[in-house]
Chain A
């Protein structure tokens, strides 16, 4: 059976994606469901800081072409096939510029002479482990200096789905660019975390537009209520996006988070907040094709 997939994303950084993703995942795991939390913020994964997990780490590799044989005179087939400008004819022969390569393999497909060979290059890693409460944690990590975050995010999602779960929660990178798209596309529901500031509203608007582009159902979690005056609720009503939960601007929340502890363990109201959020989320999932995890 395919799991229900819920992505946690936010246009603005630092609004509380990881706070929501980690606490919700742990809460749902404690209700007895099989939960996988996939940290898809591969440039700065940090969900693992909240869990006692020993992960088995596998490399993520991407094929990059290299020219190992003799090219026919004036052949430009590989250059013509590359949509990313990663092969150029320079000094009269094709030259591979690996930084621009997306590993699609089109060049080796069209090469008429077998002069191109694909070499596997490590671009990141995926760690898989299990927390004491049974929650499975999958962590994608892009290697320093690499730029192909989407390849690592894809691998992270594949690992997340490689074992049976009832619920898969995906913690996305901030922003509305390709890293966020790679993490959220095709999920059953998009949880958008924001804060009541002009920046929070502006970037939420971008994410609601993105959800529309990707045809994803979305709902908002308003975090740090009290830190700003912007009426996110009014925006949600206008945009037709449900406001699922509000979390207060609370020193004890910050202290608990800074300690690397889950709110559901370290804050008196934490368990109730995330039980309520899960219950509300299930109501919304019940009206979608995904259904309620059971």
Chain B
């Protein structure tokens, strides 16, 4: 993976050991990237070296009236996540992600597996707020 082609001006996608969190509709790499961050059903934590998936449930945050996004950031920070793949994150979650030093990469309308593969190729744009 070391030769990942970062686009011009883009920072390297991760620093090892990498653990990429993806907002997911379901439990497998073949499930879609969820359109929302704080209220996604699951986060799949993917090791890009092995494509091994650890599933974490976001039930605790998705049901709350407010603060779902920042709660999800805290959950990911506790698990040592080093990058997030999401369709979009809201402004408060984006602020929390900056504090947690977790960069965000945008992906939409693809499976989790496709998104991580694109991330590894340096094919996802880094965004603070999509």
List residues of chain A with CB under 8 Å of any chain B CB.
79, 84-86, 88-91, 95, 97, 99-100
Contacts and interface: CB of A to CB of B under 8 A. Distances in A.
B101 A88 contact: no
A95 B96 CA distance: 8
Given A88-B77, A100-B67, 6 more contacts: A85-B67, A90-B99, A91-B99, A97-B95, A100-B66, A100-B92
A85 B78 contact: no
Nearest to A82: B67
Contacts of B95: 97
A97 B66 contact: no
Contact of B100 (A84, A85, A90): A90
Contacts of B33: none
B64 interface: yes
8 contacts: A79-B74, A85-B67, A85-B68, A85-B70, A90-B74, A91-B100, A97-B96, A99-B92
**Chain B interface size, under 10 / 10 to 19 / 20 to 34 / 35 or more:** 10 to 19
B73 interface: yes
A99 B94 CA distance: 13
Nearest to A102: B66
B123 interface: no
Interface string B84-120: 0000000010011001110000000000000000000
A91 B80 CA distance: 9
Give chain A's interface secondary structure class. Answer: mixed
Contact of A97 (B70, B77, B78): B70
A88 B74 CA distance: 6
Contacts of B66: 84-85, 100
Nearest to A100: B67
B67 A90 contact: no
Interface in B45-79: 64, 66-68, 70-71, 73-74, 77-78
A85 B73 contact: no
A100 B77 contact: no
Nearest to B100: A90
Contacts of A100: 66-67, 70, 92
B77 A91 contact: yes
A95 B71 contact: no
Contacts of B70: 85, 88, 97, 100
Given A85-B70, A89-B77, A90-B73, A97 B92 contact: yes
The 3 closest A-B pairs by CB, nearest first: A85-B67, A90-B100, A90-B99
Contacts of B73: 88, 90
Contacts of B64: 85
